[in-house]
Amino acid sequence: MTPFTKQVVAIIAAIPEGKIMTYGQIAALAGSPRAARQVVRILHSMSRKERLPWHRVVNAKGEIAIADDESRMMQENQLISEGVEFQMDGTIDLIRFRHEPDPDWLLHHVASIKDEDK
């Protein structure tokens, strides 16, 4: 697993119940602000194996990005069950529900991943 992938997995795994993060936000925190699509691929390929809370990741507009109706509804229901509220236009209020990881956690975590890769 690349250091970027390890960081993405760790960031997603740390999203608390009732909070969400965006693909771009995760990419930036993992050190590659323009890699939102890479986060999508990592999430798609590793969610099951790493037991990631995939449903807590949305697009930059606060929308569920899944096109499949059944999966979209599953994600929406899981978020609602955790207390996340959807606005009338179907988006999530990013100011209210976005998770901002503790900067100290991020610094410590990034350092530990870099140490593992030496």
The pLDDT assigned to 6 comes to 92
Q: Is the dihedral of CA 85, 91, 94, 98 positive or negative?
A: positive
The pLDDT assigned to 117 comes to 60
What CATH architecture does domain 3-116 belong to? Orthogonal Bundle (1.10)
> How far is it, in rounded angstroms, from Cα 93 to Cα 87?
7
This prediction has a pTM of 0.88
The pLDDT assigned to 105 comes to 75
Match 């929308």 to its residue by tokens: 63
The pLDDT assigned to 110 comes to 67
C-alpha to C-alpha distances, 21 to 5, 53, 115, 118, nearest whole angstrom: 16, 11, 26, 29
> How far is it, in rounded angstroms, from Cα 62 to Cα 24?
11
Question: Which pLDDT tens digits describe the chain residue by residue (118 residues)?
Answer: 888 999 999 999 999 999 999 999 999 999 999 999 999 999 999 999 999 999 999 999 999 999 899 999 999 999 999 999 999 999 999 999 999 998 777 777 666 665 566 5
Domain-wise residue ranges, the chain? 3-116
Backbone angles phi, psi at 70, to 5 degrees: -65, -45
